[in-house]
Amino acid sequence: EAGVAQSPRYKIIEKRQSVAFWCNPISGHATLYWYQQILGQGPKLLIQFQNNGVVDDSQLPKDRFSAERLKGVDSTLKIQPAKLEDSAVYLCASSLIRGRYETQYFGPGTRLLVL
């Protein structure tokens, strides 16, 4: 079974530029998550989708971050404009079911460096 796919793996941009990350979850997984992992810290949830609807975006900085999952499969996370503090690894995860038996499976992440 193929895992969660993400691209690009690495991205370097200058502050105030825009950037977009792509994620393709495990086939059949209805729930998709985007996490931000700053160096030396654990991942922090940015947004959660159930199919193509947003379930939780309470920790998403909506003034510069946006995400969509238009067809309920793959998803795009965008930062516009980027700040230095956005330098982090952006992890995508997916899960098959919600509730007590849910387990999230993660992709390899996109490492973003903002100069």
Partner 1 sequence: AQKVTQAQTEISVVEKEDVTLDCVYETRDTTYYLFWYKQPPSGELVFLIRRNSFDEQNEISGRYSWNFQKSTSSFNFTITASQVVDSAVYFCALRGETSGSRLTFGEGTQLTVNP
* Positions that interact with partner 1 (CB under 8 A): 3, 31, 33, 40-45, 48, 55-56, 89, 91, 93, 95, 98, 100, 102-109, 111
CB of 16 to partner 1, least distance (A): 26
CB-based burial label for 66 (10 Å; 0-12, 13-18, 19+): middle
CB-based burial label for 18 (10 Å; 0-12, 13-18, 19+): exposed
Give 82 or 88: the residue with its C-beta nearer to partner 1.
Answer: 88
Nearest to 82 by CA among 36, 13, 21, 35: 13
Give 15 or 102: the residue with its C-beta nearer to partner 1.
Answer: 102
CB of 65 to partner 1, least distance (A): 17
Q: Are the CB atoms for 109 and 91 separated by under 8 Å?
A: yes
CB of 88 to partner 1, least distance (A): 11
